[in-house]
Amino acid sequence: MVAIDAIRSHLERGDLHDGLVFDAVRVRLIEVGEAVKALSQELLAHEPTLPWAQIAGMRDRLAHRYFDASHAIVAATVDEDLPELEAAVRRLLRIVDD
């Protein structure tokens, strides 16, 4: 949740057209992907509708091919996918905390 909260905070400072904001959001998306890779398949199975492999794969693309990270892809991820991911993470945290 820390990385998602940080993304929201960065976006309050400016939009993705600001290079500094874009870079900060990109780094936090890398962090999200890295966290997903560290989670067990058993835990991820509680949220089967999320594309966990794609989330991890995006981490690899952003981390290793930073020079071609598309603003459109990052923006779509933040606008369309982040709310669903955030809700799933909250549900998973409840499972882990129980």
**Which pLDDT score is estimated for 73?**
86
Gap between the Cα atoms of 91 and 37, Å rounded: 18
**Which pLDDT score is estimated for 89?**
92
Count the neighbouring beta carbons within 10 Å of the beta carbon of residue 71: 12
Count the neighbouring beta carbons within 10 Å of the beta carbon of residue 21: 17
Give the active site residue among 17, 64, 71, 94. 64
**Which pLDDT score is estimated for 61?**
86
Amino acid in the structure at residue 62: L
Give the active site residue among 8, 26, 59, 94. 59
Phi, psi for 43 (deg, rounded to 5): -70, -45
**Which pLDDT score is estimated for 26?**
93
Gap between the Cα atoms of 71 and 96, Å rounded: 34
Gap between the Cα atoms of 14 and 17, Å rounded: 8
**Which pLDDT score is estimated for 67?**
62
Q: Is 46 marked active-site?
A: no
pTM above 0.75, yes or no: yes
Residues of the chain with pLDDT under 50: none
Q: Is 64 marked active-site?
A: yes
